[in-house]
Amino acid sequence: MQARAIVLATGNPGKVREITAALGDLAVEILSLERFADIAPPAETGQTFAANARDKALYYAAATGQWCLAEDSGLVVDALDGAPGVHSARYAADRCPPGADRATVDQANNAKLLEALAGVPTGLRTARFLCHLALAGEGRVLIETFDTVEGLIAEAPRGRGGFGYDPVFVIPSLGRTTAELSPQQKNALSHRGKAVRHLARLLASFLSQRS
């Protein structure tokens, strides 16, 4: 079977690594957005992770002429009424200089989150990561799926792995943040890892029907 080209609609290298690894056994060729640097990114105006994922997938599929896999994911904290939610990546944008690198943005986001939860006891620091995936092509959404992982927000960052909110997101059963896990451990239980494995199964079936 000839490999199907799929553009990954993200510039986040951590997400690219996780998604590419999970789809590695399928007859697909993963194309980075770096190949399409002349395409301006779309505005993310959706009020849900699902809406943003669909919008990005359809936008880049139309712009590149390829199938496109997009995701929107983030952190939902119960004590903050669901914040940062769809604004997870931009939660502390007002604290970052223009053009700040990803490490600076991640650090600012985590600092703002911990400040917002100052004084909140452990039992009320419940949160979850959520990932919604959408694969678009031929003018429509072909496949979509999602998954979550439940956890607690730590009182201080721990660990050097991962990215984003990983240093403050504790897996209760392990007593460790996702930044303290190996990439393999994180991918086995993370919201994105589980969602991509769902997608891989759906995509394998979809491709076999079209062969």
Global pTM value: 0.90
Domain count, the chain: 1
72 is an active site residue: yes
Find the CATH number of the domain harbouring 97: 3.90.950.10
Domain of 167? 4-210
Q: The sheet that has 169-171: what strands, in order across it?
A: 28-31, 4-8, 67-77, 126-137, 140-153, 169-171, 176-177
Residues 10-68: pLDDT tens digits? Answer: 877 777 887 888 787 888 888 888 888 899 999 888 899 999 999 999 999 999 999 99
Range 100-121 average pLDDT: 96
Helices (H), the chain: 13-22, 49-64, 102-116, 183-189, 191-210
Q: Which of 25, 38, 55, 72 is catalytic?
A: 72
